[in-house]
Amino acid sequence: MNTLKHTLAGIAFGALALSAQAEDKVQIDGAEAGHWTMDFDAAVKLAAEKKLPMILNFTGSDWCGWCKLMDKNVFAEEAWQKFAADKIVLVTLDFPKDKTIVPEKYVSRNNELKDQFGVRGFPTYVVLDSDGKTKLGQLGAGKDKTPATFIDEFKAVVRMSPANIEAYIKANPDKADAYKAAIAEDKAATKALSDWIATGPERNDENTKKFAEFQARIKAAAEKLKSF
Report DSSP letters for 97-119, one per residue: SSTTSS-HHHHHHHHHHHHHTT-
* pTM metric for this prediction: 0.71
Give pLDDT, residue 12.
Answer: 38
* Domains of the chain (ranges, CATH numbers): 26-150 (3.40.30.10), 172-226 (no CATH)
The whole-number mean pLDDT for each consecutive block of 10 residues of the chain, a chain of 228 residues, reads 42 36 72 97 97 96 96 96 96 97 97 95 95 93 94 89 85 94 91 90 93 93 87
Q: Cα(98)–Cα(101) distance, rounded to whole angstroms?
A: 6
pLDDT tens column, 46-88? 999 999 999 999 999 999 999 999 999 999 999 999 999 999 9
Pairing verdict, β 89-94 and 36-37:
parallel
